[in-house]
């Protein structure tokens, strides 16, 4: 009985750790995406930091990445940047890999 309880606690701890890691990776990815988009829009360093935070906040609107993609697409196109949804999705994937690398190197 003790082994089962220990295993159950271990699985719960692993799940919590995995969820926390996924959250950190998504937040880092979104910040990196914000910096990428700000560069394309020609924002100042101060505006870039504020924009990166806004992109991170946008991810809390709904589950998944669609809220972030929608924000970036709207902001980039209204700033005159020639990009489509596929380009943003590609950037999202690249920044996701980079975020994972950064967080793993910090551990």
Q: What is the largest CA-CA distance in the chain?
A: 64
pLDDT score of 51 more than 80: yes
pLDDT grade for 49, boundaries at 50, 70 and 90: very high
Interacting residues of 67 by C-beta distance below 8 A, sequence separation 6+: 58, 59, 60, 61
**pLDDT number for residue 1:** 60
CATH number of the domain within which 51 lies: 1.10.790.20
Q: Is pLDDT larger for residue 98 or for residue 17?
A: 98
Query: Structural domain of residue 35, as residue ranges?
Result: 2-106
The count of domains in the chain is 1
- Return d(Cα 96, Cα 30) in angstroms, integer: 8
- Return d(Cα 28, Cα 75) in angstroms, integer: 20
Lowest mean pLDDT, pick from 13-17, 32-36, 80-84 = 13-17
**pLDDT number for residue 101:** 96
The crossing angle, in degrees rounded to 10, of helices 45-58 and 2-41 is: 140
């Amino acid at each position: 009985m003790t082994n089962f309880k220990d295993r159950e606690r271990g699985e719960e701890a692993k799940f919590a750790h995995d969820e926390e890691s996924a959250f950190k990776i998504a937040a880092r990815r979104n910040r990196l995406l914000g910096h990428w988009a700000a560069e394309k829009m020609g924002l100042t360093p101060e505006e870039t930091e504020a924009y990166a935070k806004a992109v991170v906040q946008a991810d809390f609107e709904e589950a998944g990445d669609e809220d972030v993609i929608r924000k970036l697409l709207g902001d980039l196109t209204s700033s005159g940047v020639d990009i489509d949804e596929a380009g943003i999705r590609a950037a999202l994937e690249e920044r996701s890999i980079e975020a994972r690398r950064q967080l793993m190197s910090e551990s």
